[in-house]
Structure 1
Amino acid sequence: MTIHLGRKAACRLSASRLHIKRRIGLPPQSRGSTCGATCPDVFELRDGRFVVIGSERTAEIRKDYPGMRTLATSEIVVVVDRETLACAKAFIPDI
């Protein structure tokens, strides 16, 4: 499966190199989503990195926390609900 991200070439990597290995945690429908199409989610990539799908809140966070470290042009702030991350936690190895 290939994921296509719409934000500045996904940290300067081509989208074709971002191959999803597996979902981390439960699918949105198992967490109470009625449509499953617009819910936060966590995936592991084949190279060991993770993809987090959530609500983009970069401008809001920068406004509320002006002392926040500087973000690279390829970075954004993504907000994910606690349940999504807690469900994923059990599936992420310590190392």
Structure 2
Amino acid sequence: MSQIIRRLGVAPRYRGSTNGATCPDLFELADGNFAVIGTDATDSLESQLPEDAARADYERIVVITRETLIKAKADIPDA
């Protein structure tokens, strides 16, 4: 498994999470992939996936807030 090398965007406390109960987050990994902390929405969203989308048994559909992604946008590499 790869290592987390940096957070993308700002820490959850700067997005209003004062108690840690809702803290979606994005991280860049040493292997170039990304890790996401979010709400597991697999059960409610899987049936809505487009025909050309699928997930493996070990994958989950995770939701993060719009604000989390917008705050991370400047840190996401273009290539």
Shorter-chain TM band: 0.7 to 0.9
Structure with larger RCO (C-alpha < 8 A, sep 6+): 2
Where do 5+ consecutive residues of structure 2 fail to align? Answer: none
- Identity across aligned pairs (percent)? 50
Q: Structure 2 length normalisation: TM-score?
A: 0.87
State the alpha-carbon separation in 1 of the partners of residues 49 and 9 from structure 2: 33
Larger % of strand: which? 2
Q: What pairs with 1:45-84 in structure 2 (closer than 5 Å)?
A: 45-63=29-47, 65=48, 67-68=50-51, 69-84=53-68
> What is the CA RMSD across the aligned residues, in angstroms?
1.6
Q: Structure 1 length normalisation: TM-score?
A: 0.73
Equivalent residue for 2:78? 94
Question: How many matched pairs?
Answer: 78
1:54 maps to a residue whose letter is: G
- 4+ residue runs over 6 A deviation: none
Aligned to 2:35, the other structure's residue is in SS state strand
